[in-house]
Each structure stands twice: as structure tokens, then as C-alpha cells.
Amino acid sequence: MEKPEDNQDIPIEYQVFALSLRQEGAITHFAENLPDDIVGINHGQNGIHEFYLALLAYRTATQLDIVDPVGFKDWLGSETDIREALGGTSGVDIMMDVLLSLQLSTVDSVVQLIKHKANKKKQIDYLQELQVILNQKGIKSDKDLARLSLITSEIRELENQLNYNPLEKLTTAMDISNRAESLLDIPSFLPTQFKSLNRAMGYTDDGGFYKGAVHAVIAPSGKGKSTFAKCLANNWVENGHTVLYINFEEAVGHWERILMSQIIGKNVYAEAERWTSSERARYLGIFRDKLSQWGNKLMVRHDPDTPYFEDLERWLREIVDYAETPEVVIIDTIQSMFTKSGKGKPRWGEFEEMMVKLEKLARDMDCVLIITAQENSNRMKEKREVVQQSDTGGSLAIQQKCAVTIFITEKKLISGDDSEDENIMQLQIPKNRITGSSFIYNPPLVKYVDSRKAYEEYELVNQEDYDDTSSLLDDLLDDEDFDI
């Protein structure tokens, strides 16, 4: 047996053992209030249940109110098989050292916590059995119906046994006062490479996307929302952040060619066939070197196994246990997903259900969560330049449940003004729950550069840019050495 590194590695049941060895009356309280059948089922570690049974048997045999460590060690070797299970004498010694040095909790709190965990586990088991029965096709037999009734009663009974204080859910004025100083800290913004967008989203050049919130990037089909999302992802990875990109939309080869174009600054589709062998080697080297630098900071999930949101949500929560929690999760697009409970439900109802769960997921993972979504055809039909909530395809819930929504729209007017560059795009922000400010009439601007398949910041030049700047002619005329 190896000694745990810290208390976080020690199962709650170890508190039962330590208290029994060190606190008067603890073993008696456990024997009377902590059923042996629930000790060990929460953590799932072999030997915990047997160790507790050995403690109870030793108490019955000796009638001691505090379990004697030395006598109990001998008992384990002579009356049980636990010594061998722990790795012999050295394993038992390590176990006893841990128990004798463990910082103690109270007896009542340990009993309540173990009972609570056991009841919750039983509830989960019952719910899983309930789901299996309900998913069975055909008419339910009398036996199934009787089992459904029993399971439902058991779940309700377990819920009644949980010590639940509704006031624990409340935040009081004193709670807010105690953490008031933290409110002065700068919010958890994740800046982008676009300074004007950062200011629109979070007041300063260091503003940007907000951790723990859902953001939507919306545009008509084929108008660059995926490309824009990739540009954001590349910048964050380049600056040391971990990004997970979930690609429902594009073929793997296309997705990676766009990534290569953005990294090497050359349109692979337009130029690769003309490259010489040395040019191909050079650009491949640039691409591979950058990917090597990024390493595991960029993670991509192409074409998830199912289109069901519940499967994606479960997978996202599971990867947290196996890898570093991503600081950014991008889902491209939300309209590619469905809910398993969606049969017979209108499509807007599915989107509403997904958005509610995405809000909680962003908070639980403390990540910037970005979804891309398609804009419907309303604005184009009505020849409007300014977006409205109703322009979101699928459901208003996509906008309503997001903290921030960004529409990518052409700056060139619907009327076809030839004085406007068709590659200059507006980032209209009709909703920003973080700052409360919207930017639909003077939104941030970006320019799409097809030669790199990327966006760059674009600033309009106006009269103020010339007010404090002399012309070239003025500079020349002010030069004493300049001859006409």
C-alpha cells in the first residue's frame, strides 16, 4: 500500500477509521448510526467495507470505546485477510500511520456525509434502472409497472432522507460584503487580436471574451463565421491558452488546409500547385514548426460520433477528468446538433434546452464557450444593414441565452455601393450582457484577406487622423536645406 500524498487522495471513510482509533465514543456512535452496507460503496475502493467490518467486530469482541491501534493490528493479522490485502505488515503500518496523523472531522459530519453520498449513489442507480425500463419498447408488463412504482417510491424516500437546508442556496448581504474586494479585480476577459472588438466587448484593449459565459458568432451560410472562429482560436493558442475546437461543419482536409493557410500566410487552395519542391518544403516546415510549438494547446474534435447534444455534453464533462480543462471551447455550429428528447418537440424548443445547458457548462468549466450559428434570410430580404434578434436562424433562444452575440455582416451596403470594399466586415454586437453596451451602428471592423484565409483588424481613416499630422509638402517646405 502506498501512502496518499495529501488529504484530497484519502476517501471519506478513512475519517471513520481514524476517529474510531483516536476519539472516545466514536466507534460506538458509528456502530449505532452508520450501517455497514453503505461504508465503502461511495468510493468504490476494495477493502474499505471489510476494514469497517473488522473495526465493528473488534469493538464487539473487546468492548473498547477507543480502538487500540496495536491490538487492532494484531487482530487484522489473526482474524481477517486484510493484512494480505494491504500488502502485509508494511502495508498495515502505512495505513495506521495515515489514520493516526489524519486531521479529524466531527463524528456527526462524517456520518451525514457518507449517508448523503450513499443516498445519492442509490438514486443514480435507481434512475438508471428506471431509464432502462422506460426505454424498452412495447407495452410494459405488470412486473415492469410494479418495479417502476417501487423505484419511484425509493427515489422519493431517499430524497426525504437527505438533510437539505433551502437557505444554504441564498446569498446574503454579508456574503457579498465579505467578497467585495474581489469585485475590484479585472474580470476574466480573454483578449482577441482585434483591439476594437476587445473595447466593444469589455471596455479596454484588454477586454474580449468572458470566461464562464456563452458567446455566439452569427453569419449567413458561407460568410466566414468558421474562419473567424479559427482566427480567434489560433491567436489564443499562440498566446499560450488551451483551445478545443469541435467541428461539425467542415471536412477534415478542408479544415486543416484553412489552418495551414492561416499559419503560413498563403492560400493553399490557390497557390500550392504552383510551388516548387523547395517552396513546398519551406511552407511545410513553417506549418509543422508552428504546430509543434502549439502541441496540446490546440485540440480538435472532428465530426462527433452523434449529432445529439447530450452526447457532446457528456463527452465535454468527461475530458476534464483526463486532460487540462480547455480555456476556450468552440462549437461549430449549434444548428448541427439535436436533442434526444426532441422527438415531437419544435426545433426552437431543442435550441432553448441546449442553450440552458450550455450556460451551465460554461460556468462549470470556467471557459470561454463560443458557438457559431447561421443567420437566417430575413435581413437580406428586407435589405437591412442593422441586425435584429429575429435574424438568428432556428430560435431567439440562441441570442437570449448568450452573454454576447456577434454578427458578421458586410460593410458594403445592401444597395451595392461600389465605394465600399466587399472584404470589410462589420462585427455587429446587438447584445452584450457583460457590459450592457451594444454596437450595431458603429461596430468594430475587420477585413477578410483571402490570400491568407484570415481576418485582420481594420480601422477607418477619418479627418481626425490628419488634424495633428503635417503633409509631406509641409515637411519639405520646412526643411531649410530643401531647394526648389
User: Over the stretch 113-158, which tens digit does the pLDDT of each residue have?
Assistant: 887 777 777 766 666 666 666 666 566 677 776 776 776 666 666 5
Contacts of residue 369, defined as CB under 8 A and 6 or more positions apart, other chains included, come to: 213, 214, 215, 328, 329, 331, 358, 361, 362
What rounded mean pLDDT belongs to the chain?
Answer: 82
Place of cell 475530458: 319
Contacts of residue 333, defined as CB under 8 A and 6 or more positions apart, other chains included, come to: 225, 226, 248, 249, 371, 372, 373, 374
Would you call 404 helix, strand, or coil by DSSP?
strand
65: which DSSP letter?
A: S
Measuring CA to CA, how many Å separate 348 from each of 249, 393, 433? 20, 10, 22
What's the mean pLDDT in 34-60?
Answer: 76
Predicted confidence (pLDDT) at residue 466 exceeds the cutoff of 50: no
Predicted confidence (pLDDT) at residue 227 exceeds the cutoff of 80: yes
Residue 350: all three cell numbers together = 431543442
The better pLDDT of the pair 357, 324 is held by: 357
Q: Cis peptide before 333, with omega less than 30 degrees from 0?
A: yes
Task: Output the pLDDT for position 193.
Answer: 95
The pLDDT-based confidence of 461 (bands split at 50, 70, 90) is low
**Model pLDDT for residues 103-112, shown as the tens digit of each residue:** 888 888 888 8
CB atoms within 10 A of CB 320: 13
**Model pLDDT for residues 86-122, shown as the tens digit of each residue:** 777 888 888 888 888 888 888 888 888 887 777 777 7
| Rounded CA separation 256/234 (Å) | 12
Measuring CA to CA, how many Å separate 35 from each of 26, 66, 245, 350, 357? 14, 19, 48, 44, 37
Predicted confidence (pLDDT) at residue 286 exceeds the cutoff of 90: yes
The number of residues making up the chain comes to 484
User: What are the φ/ψ torsions at residue 68 (nearest 5 degrees)?
Assistant: -75, 120
**Model pLDDT for residues 232-271, shown as the tens digit of each residue:** 999 999 999 999 999 998 999 999 999 999 999 999 999 9
Report how far Cα 301 is from the mean position of its chain's Cα atoms.
Answer: 14
CB atoms within 10 A of CB 41: 16
Across the beta sheet with 298-302, the strand order is: 298-302, 243-247, 328-332, 368-374, 213-219, 404-410, 424-432, 445-449, 454-457
Burial class (CB in 10 A: 0-12, 13-18, 19+), 113: middle
Whole-structure pTM value: 0.63
